[in-house]
């Protein structure tokens, strides 16, 4: 499927007073596994699924946005008392298309906010939790004449909840399937100090799942390659990343902090480990007893030893800039080298998009490839498994000397001394990437 990187003309800054744009107000989410609820929705709001609603922004609303934008989401407790993942998506829908579905291939999406609900009991105050996101970079999308001539701009709000535990654990929830309530608004004003850096947009991945309950327990297999081909060079390129690990059983990925590595065209752009802060500020929203918070406060060291996110907190939107980006093929590699999905349970939910400042920049043939490289570290062999056939594999030591060249999918490292090596892989479709291998 072809995707276009769209031209967004810049608009002059003019000082205006603060304005609030209300999108959703107390909409009700239902059991995510149940048949889509047929109850009526508020005016101009569409239920795409029990867990997601959408609403088109009017021209008047889009004209109201200024270059400083804060997005506010409030999730209210109904009949789900567990921590759940939710998010906000911007959807570009072909102009004047009357309706669309979640699977409509003509709709382009980016995730502009993600949050984790707390363990809430609807009978215990506080019964709602607020989330705040700074999304100034969306001004160039909302104000783009080019985009608005081609697409209608929708905002989608979602949270996937289930009522089964609350049906028996929360008073008043027996036989109910309403799980949460949601409210969303934007607060916007003009700030002359905020630069307008972008005039185009490239959606890459939206809530894309790695190791979704059907893959492996073997470390080293959580690698995703995202290929895109630019028709010309562009400047001030910036990539936005939202990611969270999930899997709550014993040894589940959400309870183990892992290093995440992002590489663009074989250059490492970002290395981070999610979490890293205390969840105590969110204790007040976790009104249902649970095994995470316990009955007493914990130290920051205790929290940061294991948690990747806090129930009741917004997930950070990470980013990296690369300056200019040449025309032609590019490969973004996202990996969590030590991820291990115990019992094949869990997944990593990944969203990516790019903004930059080149007019009329187009992109085609955006595709993803999953690659398995295991075991790593290894005592002898390393296996390579990919959706595309292998064209060439080369192994280098850290001094750059080539040790191996071939087309094998199983590489023998047993003759090499202990240490770190670089494996260069080219797939049949032309995708090229490098991967570090540790020989034990």
φ, ψ for residue 135 (rounded to 5)? -130, 45
Q: Is the pLDDT of residue 16 over 70?
A: no
Map tokens 């056939």 to a residue: 389
Q: Is the pLDDT of residue 213 over 60?
A: no
CA separation for the pair 252, 343 (Å, rounded): 9
Q: Which residues contact 291 (CB under 8 A, 6 or more apart)?
A: none
DSSP state of 126: -
Amino acid 217: pLDDT: 55
The secondary element (H helix, E strand) that includes residue 89 is strand 85-94
Q: What is the pTM of this model?
A: 0.87
Amino acid 72: pLDDT: 98
Nearest of 235, 135, 111 to residue 194 by alpha carbon:
135
Q: What is the pLDDT of residues 241-291, one digit of tens each?
A: 999 999 888 788 999 999 999 999 999 999 999 999 999 999 999 999 998
Map tokens 């590699």 to a residue: 333
Exposure string of 133-148, with b = 16+ CB inside 10 Å and e = fewer, is: bebbbbbbbbbbeebb
Amino acid 261: pLDDT: 94
Amino acid 87: pLDDT: 98
DSSP state of 78: S
The three-state secondary structure class of 168 is helix
* Average of per-residue pLDDT across 323-337: 89
* Average of per-residue pLDDT across 174-202: 93
75: its two tokens:
């999730």
Q: Beta strands of 247-362 (E only): which ranges?
A: 260-264, 267-272, 318-325, 328-335, 347-356
Amino acid 279: pLDDT: 96
Pairing of strands 402-406, 363-374: unpaired
Q: Is the pLDDT of residue 136 over 50?
A: yes
For the chain, helix, strand, coil in percent to 5 are 10, 45, 45
Task: Judge contact between 405 and 305, C-beta under 8 A.
Answer: no
Q: What is the pLDDT of residues 95-116, one digit of tens each?
A: 999 999 999 989 999 999 999 9
Amino acid 365: pLDDT: 57
Q: What is the pLDDT of residues 31-80, one digit of tens each?
A: 999 999 999 999 999 999 999 999 999 999 999 999 999 999 999 999 99
Please give the span between the terminal C-alpha atoms of the chain, in angstroms, as a whole number: 42
Q: Which residues contact 36 (CB under 8 A, 6 or more apart)?
A: 47, 49, 50
């Amino acid at each position: 499927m072809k995707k276009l990187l769209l031209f967004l003309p810049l608009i002059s800054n003019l000082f205006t007073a603060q304005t609030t744009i209300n999108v959703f107000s107390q909409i009700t989410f239902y059991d995510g596994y149940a048949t889509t609820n047929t109850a009526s929705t508020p005016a101009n709001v569409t239920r795409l699924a029990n867990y997601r609603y959408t609403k088109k922004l009017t021209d008047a609303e889009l004209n109201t946005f200024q270059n400083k934008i804060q997005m506010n989401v409030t999730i209210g407790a109904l009949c789900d008392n567990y921590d759940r993942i939710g998010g906000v998506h911007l959807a570009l829908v072909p102009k004047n298309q009357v309706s669309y579905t979640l699977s409509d291939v003509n709709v382009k999406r980016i995730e502009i906010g993600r949050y984790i609900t707390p363990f809430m009991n609807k009978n215990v105050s506080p019964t709602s939790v607020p989330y705040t996101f700074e999304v100034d970079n969306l001004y160039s999308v909302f104000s783009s004449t080019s985009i608005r001539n081609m697409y209608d701009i929708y905002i989608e709000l979602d949270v996937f909840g289930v009522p089964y535990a609350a049906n028996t654990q929360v008073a008043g929830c027996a036989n109910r399937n309403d799980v949460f309530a949601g409210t969303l608004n934007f607060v916007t004003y003009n700030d002359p100090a905020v630069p307008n850096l972008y005039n185009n947009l490239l959606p890459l991945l939206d809530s894309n799942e790695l190791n979704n309950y059907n893959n492996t327990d073997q470390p080293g297999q959580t690698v995703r390659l995202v290929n895109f081909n630019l028709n010309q060079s562009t400047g001030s390129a910036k990539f936005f990343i939202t990611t969270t690990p999930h899997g709550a059983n014993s040894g589940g990925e959400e309870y183990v902090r892992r290093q995440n590595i992002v590489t663009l065209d074989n250059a490492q752009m970002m290395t981070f480990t999610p979490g890293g802060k205390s969840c105590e500020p969110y204790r007040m929203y976790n009104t249902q007893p649970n095994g995470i918070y316990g009955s007493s406060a914990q130290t920051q060291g205790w929290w940061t030893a294991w948690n990747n996110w806090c129930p009741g907190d917004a997930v950070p939107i990470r980013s990296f800039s690369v300056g200019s980006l040449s025309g032609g093929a590019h490969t973004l590699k996202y990996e969590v080298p030590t991820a291990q999905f115990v019992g094949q349970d869990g997944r990593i939910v990944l969203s990516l998009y790019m903004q930059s400042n080149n007019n009329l920049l187009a992109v085609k043939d955006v595709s993803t490839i999953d690659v398995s490289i295991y075991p790593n570290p290894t005592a002898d062999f390393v296996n390579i498994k990919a959706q595309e056939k292998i064209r060439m594999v080369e192994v280098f030591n850290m001094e750059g000397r080539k040790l191996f060249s071939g087309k094998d999918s199983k590489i023998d490292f047993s003759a090499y001394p202990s240490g770190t090596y670089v494996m260069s892989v080219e797939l049949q479709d032309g995708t090229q990437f490098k991967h570090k291998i540790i020989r034990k």
